[in-house]
Amino acid sequence: MTLKTLLKASSAFVLLSAAAANAQATHPETGETLAEVQTFTYRVLDEHSSVDPQVVEDVTGSDIVRDLFEGLMNQNAAGELVPGVATGFEMSEDGLNYTFTLRDNARWSNGDPVLASDFVYAWKRAVDPELASEYAWFMELMSIENAAAIIAGEMDKEELGVAAPDDSTFVVTLSQPLPYFAQMTTHSTTFPVHPATVEEFGSEWTRPENIVSNGAYVLREHVPQERLVRVRNENYWDNENTIIDEVTSLVINDVNQSLTRYLAGELDRTETPPGQFPRLAQEYPDQAVSIPRLCSYYYNFNLSEGGPEALQDVRVRQALSLAVNRDVIVNNVLASGQTAAYNFTPVRTADFELPDIPAASMSQEERNAMAVELITEAGYGIGGEPLSIELLYNTDEAHRNVAVAMSQMWQQTLGIQTTLANQEWQTFLQTRGNQNFEMARGAWCGDYNEASTFLDLVTTNSGYNDAKYSNAEVDQLMADAKTAEDPQPNYTRVEQIIAEEMPIIPIYHYADGYMFNPELKGWPVDNVEQNWYSRELYKVAGE
Amino acid sequence: MFNFVLKRLAIAIPTILILIVLSFMLMFAAPGGPFNSERPLPPQVLANLEARYGLDQPYWKQMSDYVVNVVTRFDFGPSFQYRDRTVTDVIMQGFPVTLTYGFWSFVVAVIVGVSLGVVAAIKHNTWLDYVAVGISVGAQVLPNFVMAPILVLVFTLWLGWLPGGGWQGGQWQYLILPVIALSTSYMASIARITRSSMLEVLNAGFIRTARAKGLPTWRIILGHALKPAMLPVLSYLGPAFVLMITGSVVIDVYFSTGGIGQFFVNSAFSRDYAVIMGITILVGVLTILFNLVVDVLYAWIDPKIRY
């Protein structure tokens, strides 16, 4: 055989085997031809806090933890509850007991079976004052019996309302019925850990050389501030249906740099730089995607005793809110798919019905006319007492643009002077938390997909109520909603009260602009919490 | 000389202590804390966290515990932000990265900068001089936060020759762009300092004597002129070297190298007190050390200097 024929023969063989591999590799459900290399590389803004399920506190970290670990329940692409390690659960009639049945083929990455006692261990760990998890509050929010007392150090962690009567049954006892309890088990704080590994390595158990996990992926490499690589977990119970073999997250602080590297083919997903989404969507219509988020952007009025006198007048607050042209802010200032907000809870929140809020259905001219009327009535604005307001926000280009737009709208429509003040994040939090502001930016993302995660903020005792708004009716409505069979009427009423009394100005509901590799499929665009799992993604072969 | 070095090292100890005390005071004066977030923690959770990290102690106690731990056990404490790592881990991971690209940037900056400066001085007021000065002025006015994105645009997106970021254990492809971006402005300064100091030396009497002896130009330059001309360059190089190897935030941020500069800035924003202190001490010690090295080199270069 001459060299030439050898080359021919071998290249024919390569072609044939490639064809054979391709012929096999189709997606089991859609039948699309899969790409040969199944990797997913994406940009993260910052280094994650931890990959320890009970310690992780940021979105970036939670995304990784959802790949490495699996909790009782998962979410599907629409955000609905689907089985995870548990095949299902039963709720007692009084709504105080949940019994989860665990699947018998769930395995840790070292081959050990995933036991109900692993969940018991993890949940007790989450409330353990010794671990001092920043997400201990989440367990308290889940209303698990004795969680609050254990966190406060008044009770031993062994008293937590969780039990494992046998290896495949996990029972939770609540202190009060909680309609959305099962939804909360998709959160990373509730994921199991491998007790023997945690005990052996202590705080170093999450390092690649030590970690034992039960998710679809295992941690292979972690270079802080640079990259984290996870690869398929051969022991995962549903490993045969996992398509992506390797997932890499790269820390890229600068979003413009990230976009350049995406365009150079180094990444499969990146956020888009502020203001660039419209251009990118036009240039790359198959790649630019706007994903709505369960988050609200708003401004707090300082309603505490030290707050400015003018802002105690509800007519002034109404006028300020009405004069903000939200359409200009979402379509011209931000322009990556955000939606104008006239109420607090994002409309996509599960089971939430948008209440009837008059301002929402008016035209901006009508709103402006009404705003002028109200401010004149209150004795401020053009011809009235001069009014100057300071807007406080944390240093960020996008926040500044919104504040500038708002101050111009107020100046033009109401004749109100505005000064802008920006502060570095930590300083801002302290200033706002101490009510040393007139109006301050606020943003809130739902902890779970239910309206109370938003509306609890305006209750008197909420730690996040920076406006220091207090209304006994709101407090009562929200307290009743916790146990009501149908809490929606309560939420509707609370939203209406907010619209009437205006302790905060809702500005917009979030959406994030992304670029996605067109070959990457399976992204759960409709999951408003953006709880995505790499095992559901796949890459199709390019043409 | 030996006594001088000893004396300097003895002065270094109180200097570092003052550095620690001042840094601690500034840190505690900054509003916020490591566990503040948009979502204020329930008081009990916050109390548990502060107890865990000793932040519930009075300031003086935190400071003295810290100094004792550092001095007796070389223990810089755990990072508040990254729960599974200690400050020593953070430094051990980030510092070699910064040291690597910082060292190569230093080498490039010195070789290119000194060469440009010498050429410009020898060919004073010729086109070569103008080109060299042009390059160094150009490099000086292009700060690295402008250089970095341009380099990535050209070499990654347009030409596709080099990766746009990452480190991969320091493979050469990943080194080139950070080194170019970091070294240019230092190179420009070195070139300018070398040029002016070289010009001065070339007009000195002993160079005229050397010329009169009939020595070839290259011997005059290398054998007689370069060493004295390096004195001002050297005083610039000491602090520049420390700056380069302790990390440029811009380089770390744009090239995602995982270097120490990024940790430093992030820890300041997130009030990760332990990491702030650890890196401050590292930078402080290196500054003191390399200033000492420069002083010793001074004595070697200039026989007039005696300690």
How far apart, in whole angstroms, are the C-alpha atoms of residue B183 and residue B144? 9
- CA atoms in the 13 A half-sphere facing the CB of A508: 27
Residue A104 has pLDDT above 90, yes or no: yes
Please report the pLDDT score of residue A462 as a whole number.
Answer: 84
Residue A320 has pLDDT above 70, yes or no: yes
Residue A43 has pLDDT above 90, yes or no: yes
- CA atoms in the 13 A half-sphere facing the CB of A419: 7
Mean pLDDT value of segment A81-85:
96
Q: Which residue has the higher pLDDT, A13 or A397?
A: A397
Contact present, A277 and A335 (Cβ < 8 Å): yes
Query: Looking up tokens 């490495």, which residue turns up?
Result: A68
Contact present, A55 and A133 (Cβ < 8 Å): yes
Q: Which range has the worst mean pLDDT, A28-42, B36-50, B89-103? A: B36-50
All residues of chain B having their beta carbon less than 8 Å from the beta carbon of residue A134 are 35, 37, 41, 45, 49
How far apart, in whole angstroms, are the C-alpha atoms of residue A438 and residue B57? 34
Amino acid at A415: G
Buried b (16+ CB within 10 A) or exposed e, A108-135: bbeebebbbbbbbbbbbbbbbbebbbbb
Out of A50, A251, A427, the one facing B84 most closely (by C-beta) is: A50
Q: Which residues have C-beta within 8 Å of that of residue B41, sequence separation ≥ 6?
A: A134, A137, B35, B49
pTM above 0.90, yes or no: no
Out of B31, B152, B270, the one facing A260 most closely (by C-beta) is: B152
All residues of chain B having their beta carbon less than 8 Å from the beta carbon of residue A219 are none
Task: Tell me whether strands A97-102 and A86-91 are parallel, antiparallel or unpaired.
Answer: antiparallel
Query: Looking up tokens 């005390």, which residue turns up?
Result: B21
Interchain CB distance below 8 Å, A427 and B30: yes
Out of B52, B164, B252, the one facing A261 most closely (by C-beta) is: B164
Mean pLDDT value of segment B38-45:
75
Interchain CB distance below 8 Å, A151 and B252: no
Amino acid at A313: D
Question: Rounded to the nearest 5°, which phi and psi values hold at A422?
Answer: -120, 145
Contacts 24+ apart (CB under 8 A), A140-145: A140/B42, A141/A184, A141/A447, A142/A174, A142/A178, A142/A181, A142/A184, A142/A190, A143/A174, A143/A175, A143/A176, A143/A178, A143/A181, A144/A172, A144/A173, A144/A174, A144/A175, A145/A173, A145/A174, A145/A175
Please give the residue of chain B at the shortest CA–CA distance from A207: B84
Please give the residue of chain B at the shortest CA–CA distance from A129: B48
Please report the pLDDT score of residue B247 as a whole number.
Answer: 66
Residue A20 has pLDDT above 70, yes or no: no
Count, residues in chain A: 543
Secondary structure of residue A512 in the 3-state scheme: strand
- ipTM comes to 0.84
Q: Which range has the worst mean pLDDT, A39-53, A359-373, A509-523, B35-49? A: B35-49
Task: Tell me whether strands A269-271 and A288-301 are parallel, antiparallel or unpaired.
Answer: unpaired
* Reduced 3-state DSSP string for A419-460: EEEEECHHHHHHHHHCCCCCEEEEEEECCCCCCHHHHHHHCC
Out of A203, A261, A443, the one facing B165 most closely (by C-beta) is: A261
All residues of chain B having their beta carbon less than 8 Å from the beta carbon of residue A197 are none
Interchain CB distance below 8 Å, B149 and A151: no
Please give the residue of chain A at the shortest CA–CA distance from B167: A226
Residue A68 has pLDDT above 80, yes or no: yes
pLDDT in tens, B215-267: 888 888 888 888 888 888 988 888 888 888 876 788 888 898 888 888 888 88
Residue A5 has pLDDT above 80, yes or no: no
pLDDT in tens, A347-395: 989 889 888 899 999 999 999 999 999 999 999 988 889 999 999 999 8
How far apart, in whole angstroms, are the C-alpha atoms of residue A227 and residue A104? 34
How far apart, in whole angstroms, are the C-alpha atoms of residue A46 and residue A58? 10
Secondary structure of residue A47 in the 3-state scheme: coil
pLDDT in tens, A434-471: 899 999 999 998 888 889 999 999 999 887 899 999 99
Residue B141 has pLDDT above 90, yes or no: no
How far apart, in whole angstroms, are the C-alpha atoms of residue A133 and residue A136? 5
Interchain CB distance below 8 Å, A132 and B94: no
pLDDT in tens, A109-150: 999 999 999 999 999 999 998 888 888 888 988 999 999 999
How far apart, in whole angstroms, are the C-alpha atoms of residue B119 and residue B111? 12
Contact present, B206 and B229 (Cβ < 8 Å): no
Count, residues in chain B: 307
All residues of chain A having their beta carbon less than 8 Å from the beta carbon of residue B83 are 49-50, 52, 55, 203
Please give the residue of chain B at the shortest CA–CA distance from A152: B44
Please give the residue of chain B at the shortest CA–CA distance from A43: B256
pLDDT in tens, B59-110: 888 888 888 888 888 888 888 888 778 899 889 988 999 999 999 999 999 9
Residue A288 has pLDDT above 50, yes or no: yes
Q: Which of B48, B262, B263 to mutate to test the interface with A (most CBs of A within 10 A)?
A: B48
Interchain CB distance below 8 Å, A49 and B39: no
Mean pLDDT value of segment B193-202:
92
Residue A18 has pLDDT above 50, yes or no: no
| Count of CB pairs separated by less than 8 Å, A with B | 147
Q: Which of A41, A188, A225, A251 to mutate to test the interface with B (most CBs of B within 10 A)?
A: A225
- Alpha carbon of A370: minimum distance to chain B alpha carbons (Å): 34
Interchain CB distance below 8 Å, A223 and B44: no
pLDDT in tens, A220-245: 999 988 999 999 999 999 999 999 99
Question: Across chain B, what does the average pLDDT equal?
Answer: 87
Out of A57, A206, A264, the one facing B164 most closely (by C-beta) is: A264
All residues of chain A having their beta carbon less than 8 Å from the beta carbon of residue B39 are 464
Out of B32, B51, B254, the one facing A426 most closely (by C-beta) is: B32
The H or E element containing residue B275 is helix B273-301
